[in-house]
Structure 1
C-alpha cells in the first residue's frame, strides 16, 4: 500500500470512528495532494506526497508561531493537532549523529573537486534527506561545517 492509499484508508477510518478533527485534517491533506496532481498533470509517488506533507507542516509551524504571537491559543491548538496528524505520514527522522555523518560524507565528496560550496552540498543532500530532516537546520549545519 502506498502512502496515498494509506492516507485515504486512514480518512475512512476517521469517518467511521466519528473523529471529525482527524477527518478534516486528512481532507486538507487529500485536497492538497489532488491539487498538486491536477496542477502538474501527474500521479504523485510517495516522494512527491512526502514533499507536499513537508510543505504543509512548514505552513502549520509558521501559523502556530503567528497565532501564539497574537495570543490565539485556540487557533494554535488546531494547527498543532493538524501538524501531528501530518507528521504521522513522514518518514522516520534522522538522529543528529546520522545527519552529521551524512553531511560530512557529502562535503567530503564535493570537497574532492576543490572547496565545497554550500549550494552544491545542499543540492546533493536535499533528495537524500527529503522528509527526514528539517532543511533549515541542515543548511545551518552545512554552513558551520564548511566555514568552520
Structure 2
C-alpha cells in the first residue's frame, strides 16, 4: 500500500531530524503546519488534493519572495528560498513538459469550443483540474493565451 502524502511528509520530517537536515526539516514542518491549520479551520481532515494545493501555494509564496530577495541583493535569502522550493517540489506529481501542456491546452480549447482570448476564463476553468499540481498556473495561462491568439 502506498503511503499518503501526509504520512510521507511526517516520515520525511523524522528522517530529516535524524540526518540533522535543518532546512528540509523546517520546510516540511512549515507545510505540515499549514496542513494542520487547514484541518483546524475546516474541522475536517484534508485529502491529497488539498495537500497538493497547500504545496503549490507554499511554492508560489517562495517564488514571489525570491523576486524581492534578488532585487534587494539578498543572495543568502534567495538561496534559502530556492532550496525550500526544491524540497517542496519533490512532493508534487511529475511536472508536465511544455509540449504535453500545449497538447492538453489545445484539447481543452476544442472541448469548450473557445475561439478567442475573451474566452480564456472558460478554458482556464476547464483546464485547471487537469493540470493541478503538475504545472505552474502562470505557465498554463501563457500557453492558453498563445493558443487562443
Question: What band does the TM-score fall into relative to the shorter chain?
Answer: over 0.9
> Over the residues paired in the alignment, what is the CA RMSD in angstroms?
1.2
Kindly state the Cα deviation for residue 115 of structure 1 after the two structures are TM-superposed.
Answer: 4.1
Q: Which has the higher mean CA deviation after the structures are superposed, 30-39 or 85-94?
A: 30-39
Kindly state the Cα deviation for residue 4 of structure 1 after the two structures are TM-superposed.
Answer: 0.7
Q: Which runs of 5+ in 1 are unaligned?
A: none
| Superposition pairs of residues 57-136 of structure 1, within 5 angstroms | 57-111=59-113, 115=115, 117-136=119-138
Q: TM-score, normalised by structure 1?
A: 0.93
Q: Distance in 2 between matches of 1:60 and 1:99?
A: 23
Q: Deviation string for 1:18-59 (max 9, x for gaps)?
A: 112211111111111111111122211111111100000000
Q: Which runs of 5+ in 2 are unaligned?
A: none
Q: TM-score, normalised by structure 2?
A: 0.93
Secondary structure (helix, strand or coil) at the match of 1:99 reads helix
Aligned positions, number: 145
The list of structure 1 runs, each at least 4 consecutive aligned residues, that deviate by more than 3 angstroms after superposition, is none
| Superposition pairs of residues 37-76 of structure 1, within 5 angstroms | 37-76=39-78
